[in-house]
Amino acid sequence: MTTSTKPIHGAQTRRTARNWLGPIVVLLLLAFPFILSLLSGQPVDTGTPKFWQGMLIQVFILAVFAMSYDLLMGYTGILSFGHAMFFGAGAYATGILLKHSGWGLAAVLLAVVGVAIVQSVLIGVVSLRVRGVYLAMATLAFAQMFFILAQATDLRAITGAEDGLHGIPVPDWLNPTDQRLTFYFVALLFMVIMYLIARRVVDSPPGRVMVAIRENEARAQMIGYNTFGYKLMAVTLSGVMAALAGFMNALWNLNATPDVLSVETTINALLMTIIGGVGTLIGPMLGAGVYQLLGYWLNATFGPRWPLIIGVIYILLVLFVPYGIVGTWQLRRNDMRAGWARLIRPLRTGLEADTPGATKK
């Protein structure tokens, strides 16, 4: 009944006009280590530049994770509370294979994708039989199952039980400590590729069906779409992306602990999505950045209990800024511009009093 008015394709329709923005951001991110090195006067692979590369690597990984979550929640309207299971399974699969199988990185990557497809299709087929809160509960329960299994002592030889996997071997060229800069570029490339894939999907006809399902599933079904198939596709795509983020996370941290499978991981994805803006691709990525930097700052200021503050911020956002940064911007862009225009009008008229028609614009 309540037709949501989430801002979605505002960005898309005007995208052509702002096509230059994305490449510029990417270029800036490429140049970032060197700029920081210049500013701080330290070599690019030590000290401050190295530290901030680390921060951004984490942001890139989280950004992909959050974006994959929003493909489900924001675009298809599937509220899953078990997204950590894909992220965590990706991380664990990476760790287990690198540690125990002796496969190369590329083979592991393919295997992670394969595992993620199998996992998300299975989970999807079961949980997509129900909707709304039932689905949220079902996915939460499945995620908890993985969380419990990861801690089970029976599988200690493989998963490391409650300690998790540590000292995952990665190729020397990608060592996150010694080859930080390389890792930085790889992570950035990873994020850009994932974004382009997601963008492609969202703008394609199936992507529009996903949005139609979110708006009114019965209607989409009536028009003749096999909504179950599309939803399964969304779950699978989102699951694979999350698993790849988990893959990167395992490489970056050189470990996979039960934490990556916990509810907190899902909540983090939710947080980043809500902060950035539901139903957009840029939003969750921006949210990941804000979350990571805010977390760093809050941790420095308030100590280890900083998630309490993040949690309160999250509640306030849900209550008062439900569309997040990007969504609110898209909704209020015109208001804001009008507001700015009103504010600077006196200035303009003062400055440009002699150019007739200047204030008309």
Partner 1 sequence: MVAYLRRNTALLVTLGIVLAILLWMTNRYEPKVTASIILSGLTLGALYFLVASGLSLIFGLMDVLNFAHGMLFMMGAYLGFTAYANPRLLLNTLPLVLALLGGAQVGRWLGGMLPDKLKKPWLDTALHLALFVLSVAVILFAVRGFNVQPLVANSATAAGGAISTADAQEAASLYIPRLLWLTLAGVLLGLGLSRVGPVATRRHTRWTGALIGVGLVAVAIAIVPLRTPAETFLLSVSSNIRFVLALLVGLVAGGALGALMESALIRPLYSRPLYQILLTLGVSFVGTELIKTIWGTAGFYMDIPAFAAASGEGCPSPNLWSWFSDHCASIDVLGRPFPSYRIFIIGLGLVIFIAVALLLQRSRIGIIIRAGVQDSEMVQALGINVRRVFTLVFALGSALAAVGGVAAAPFLGVNLGLGAEVQLQGFIAVVIGGMGSYIGAAVGALLVGMARAFGDQLVLSGIQLPWMDEAIRMSPSIARASTVLIMALVLLVRPAGLFGKKE
Partner 2 sequence: MTNILEVDAIHTFIGQFHILEGVSLAVPAGSITALLGRNGAGKTTTLRSIIGLNAPRSGRIAFEGSDIHGKTAYAIASLGIGYVPEYRAIFRALTVEENLRIAERSKKDLARRSDLIFGLFPDLKRFYKLPGGQLSGGQQQMLAIARALVPENRLLLIDEPSEGLAPILIESIVDALRQLSAHATILLVEQNFRMASILADRYYILDDGQSVHAGQMADLVQNRELISRYLGAGYAAAVAAPESPAVMPTAQQGA
Considering the rule CB under 8 A, would residue 133 count as an interface residue with partner 1?
A: yes
Any idea what DSSP says for residue 360?
Answer: G
Report how far apart, in Å, the C-alpha atoms of 168 and of each of 97, 154, 176, 258, 299 are.
Answer: 9, 21, 12, 15, 27
Residue 301 touches which member of partner 2, partner 1, none, C-beta under 5-8 Å by kind:
none
Using CB under 8 A, which of the segments 1-9, 21-29, 102-110, 163-171 binds partner 2? 1-9
Mention every residue, 6+ apart, whose C-beta is less than 8 A from residue 64.
190, 191, 194, 195, 241, 242, 244, 245, 248
Taking CB under 8 A as the criterion, the residue among 26, 79, 181, 298 binding partner 1 is 79
Taking CB under 8 A as the criterion, the residue among 5, 16, 153, 177 binding partner 2 is 5
Least Cβ distance, residue 42 to partner 1 (angstroms):
36
Least Cβ distance, residue 274 to partner 1 (angstroms):
7
**Six-digit token string for 153:** 């002592």
Considering the rule CB under 8 A, would residue 93 count as an interface residue with partner 1?
A: no
Mention every residue, 6+ apart, whose C-beta is less than 8 A from residue 189.
none
Q: Helices 105-127 and 132-151 sit at what angle, rounded to 10 degrees?
A: 140
Q: Mask 292-321, x = binds partner 1 (CB under 8 A)?
A: -------------x-xx--xx-xx--xx--
**Six-digit token string for 281:** 């691709």
For every residue of 128-141, DSSP letters joined together read: TTS-HHHHHHHHHH
Residue 9's closest CA among 268, 194, 214?
214
Residue 16 touches which member of partner 1, partner 2, none, C-beta under 5-8 Å by kind:
none
Which CB, 37 or 227, lies closer to partner 1? 227
Considering the rule CB under 8 A, would residue 336 count as an interface residue with partner 1?
A: no
Q: Binders of partner 2 among 181-220, rule CB under 8 A? A: none
Taking CB under 8 A as the criterion, the residue among 118, 178, 223, 264 binding partner 1 is 264
Total number of residues binding partner 1 (CB under 8 A)?
A: 40
